[in-house]
Amino acid sequence: MSLTENHLIERLPKGIRKRFLARCEPFALVLSTELSVRGALLTHAYFPVTGFISLVIDIDSHPPLEVGMVGRESMLGSELVLGVAKTPWRAVVQGAGTCWRIETQALRQALTDLPALQSVLQRALLVRLHQQALASACERFHPIGQRLARWLLMSQDRADADHFHVTQEFISLMLGVRRVGVTQAASDFQKNGLIQYTRGELKVLDRAGLEARACSCYEADKLLHSALMNEKISN
């Protein structure tokens, strides 16, 4: 692994962090790979170091809809803290990278052996529940352009780069809107020098400009994460 680390793991006291990582293995996040399937038992939990994962809901005959995004600020599989091993969504690698992976049973044992780990992951689960509630309100009340700006900023934060691979079709699925709406909003961003988009490769040219276009949910999401996760973890 690189010097960059998953933020939840970073919050653990040094000795506990070392004991936890001894139970994990490095794992490659390959673009478009499904890490979990709706209704199936989770076999592993994932702690991204680079790259990021989309949580996608499939409802009846409707197109898929993204209901969450996981990067190095969080983990995939926090339901296991509650003893639950199934999820209502698919987890799809949206940005290639690396992570730490741990088997379900090994994580459960680690939660018993390492109380500080349990405290961190419980808080991470609480953050995700709050963020998903915020995302639901955002989808209902905010226009496509604001939501697209927010989504691009969230993706850039987790990609830790000013460019990443994404198609307009994929964005339309993630936002739950028609592709024409995404095309119009993206064209407006490109015309105003905020982004550059060519054949699935998107580059952020003016982050401050995107932040000005994003809905208030982007900043609210960051403040929420900070407020719920900033308490120091003790041994």
Cα atoms in the 13 Å half-sphere on the side-chain side of 218: 22
Within-domain flag for 32: yes
The H-assigned helical ranges of 46-164 are: 104-113, 115-141, 144-159
Buried-exposed string 24-45: b where 16+ CB fall within 10 A, e elsewhere = beebebeeeeebbeeeeebebb
Distant-in-sequence, close-in-space partners of 42: CB < 8 Å, separation ≥ 6: 36, 77, 79, 80, 85, 86, 87, 104
Please tell me what DSSP assigns to residue 124: H
* 14 and 51 together in one domain: yes
Q: What is the phi/psi pair of residue 176, to 5°?
A: 70, 35
Strand order from edge to edge, sheet including 201-204: 163-165, 201-204, 195-198
Claim to verify: residue 125 and residue 23 sit in the same structural domain: yes
CATH code of the domain in which 183 resides: 1.10.10.10
Rg (CA), the chain: 18
Do 148 and 39 belong together in one domain? Answer: no
The tens digit of pLDDT for each residue in 86-129 reads 888 899 999 999 999 999 999 999 999 999 999 999 999 999 88
Q: What is the pLDDT of residues 64-75, one digit of tens each?
A: 788 889 999 999
63 — alpha (psi -120 to 50), left (phi > 0) or beta?
beta
- Domain region containing 26: 7-139
Average pLDDT, the chain: 90
pLDDT at 16: 96
Digit-coded pLDDT (tens) for 127-178: 988 888 888 888 889 999 999 999 999 999 988 888 888 888 888 877 878 8
Three-state DSSP class for 231?
coil
Residue 80 has pLDDT above 70, yes or no: yes
The C-alpha atoms of residue 181 and residue 177 are separated, in whole angstroms, by 7
Tokens of 27: 């794992």
Q: Are 91 and 32 in contact (CB under 8 A)?
A: no
Percent with pLDDT over 70 in the chain:
96
Asked whether residue 85 falls in the same domain as residue 161, the answer is no
Structural domain includes residue 96: yes
**Which pLDDT band, with edges at 50, 70 and 90, does 3 fall under?**
low
Whether 64 and 179 share a structural domain:
no
pLDDT above 90 covers a percentage of the chain that reads 59
Which residues are CB-contacts of 40 (< 8 A; sequence separation ≥ 6)?
86
DSSP 127-147: HHHHHHHHHHHHHHHS-HHHH
Region 38-57: mean pLDDT is: 93
The structure tokens 């961190």 sit at: 120
pLDDT at 211 over 70: yes
The CATH number of the domain holding residue 61 is 2.60.120.10
| pTM score | 0.88
pLDDT at 73: 94
**Cα-based angle 167, 173, 178 (whole degrees, multiple of 5):** 95
Q: How many domains does the chain have?
A: 2
